[in-house]
Structure 1
Amino acid sequence: MALGLAFVYVPLGVVLINSFNASTVFAWPPQELTTHWWTATIGNEGVRAAVLTSFEVGLVATTAALLLGTLLAFALGRYTFFGRHTLSLLVVLPIALPGIVTALAFRTGFRTFLGLELSIWTVAIAHATFCIVVVYNNALARLRRMGTTPEEASMDLGADTFTTFRLVTFPLLRGALVAGALLAFGLSFDEIVVTLFTAPPGVTTLPIWIYQNLSRPNQGPVVNVVAAVLVLASILPIYLSQKLSGESTGGGRL
């Protein structure tokens, strides 16, 4: 376990240290440390534009995933109908397929079958297909754990369907939905393969910016700073997601 964790986290530590490396060729170990690259990154217009685009795409994809994933979870978790298991498989399939296959399918669908021009919306729609999966899985797992007893008790006491959902179902489901939304946003934010195939020229998300600038002269240190920020920024959503998932399933009280 120690070797496995070291294999994952030592390179991340190297990225963090290299973001303060004064050398542009990444001499190791660093002979001198500086914060110059952090200052340069803050003032980099390309980085700011890429971050904004990634946030816009992530928010649209996450919103769509929350709505559709929750509805699917209720449909498949609360009702029995013909083709339910097939539909469940189709919902989960996008995240299991190779990214290049999904990307090619969406590009062909948008350009050939629908005749649409690629835009930031095509990127968000493509991202939403695999973001739905994490919201759906979280919501479905929570619905199965909570059962129908609380809702039945609410209705026995005179509450209608909407009141029961507002006062009973949604509060019990809220933690799982927030956790799913955080994971969905993270998936969208760092997606690169699907984005490359569904984004038009000029629309650059942060992962694409990193990919494009990784080999450019004097851009390596800035790329390391961006990567370091992403590593640090990922800690809080992951922590919140685990905490909320634990609380929504009772794990927070163990």
Structure 2
Amino acid sequence: MLVDSHCHLDFPDFAEDLDGIVSRARAAGIGRMVTISTRVRKLNQLLGIAERYDDVYCSVGTHPHNADEEDGISPEELIGLTGHPKVVALGEAGLDYFYDNGAPEAQARGFRAHIAAARATGLPLVIHTREADEDCGRILEEEAAKGSFRAVLHCYTGGRELALKAVSLGLYIGFTGILTFKKSETLRALAAELPSDRILVETDSPYLAPGKFRGKRNEPAYVVEVAKVLAETRGVSLEEISRQTTENFFRLFSKVKS
């Protein structure tokens, strides 16, 4: 079994084909899918999808692109929204300096609020970080000093230093179809180096289709292609990568039924 630890089933790209998306994932051996929140205010839409399928779960959080729109959401409000049995994580939250969406100050406030909620609930935080390694690493260290929390740096494309810092703090690293791109040699070298108990696979679908499907809409079934390249990169079998990443997933996303 494999798990897609990060997809966006509520996005319009999937609206007309949701049953097909889930059916193809199941046929490909994807045992669990987590559809990730980008706006707290749209949680009900995510819950509608998660409640429709036994093997689909969701998170609650504010993407850094929407930090201005949802600035001021407190840890207490986030905590209060995690009581539903299908809400298994916080986020995605974090820092994104690649696009000029969301003031950096609002992103940082949101990031810290989500970390506080993750610390209080014991649920993992799904972290989005892009072109913000220094600030992300600093916030992670400052917040870890206040008390431990669980998290994954999803769709990792950052530098080696941030990845190793995250792992040293007990966090996980998630890899997407970017790992399969021809120009991702540096990322593959990092993926080969990381501890086996700290790696996850994901699609971030409908975006970032693996090389085999480049240019097409991505979907959870394609996480198999990410796992294949991760296995090749680490010099192990697909079966071993499937076992290890799935074991890692259930350890991190411990609210998900195994």
TM-score, scaled to structure 1: 0.24
Bigger Cα Rg: 1
Structure with higher RCO (Cα < 8 A, 6+ apart): 1
TM-score, scaled to structure 2: 0.24
More helix by share: 1
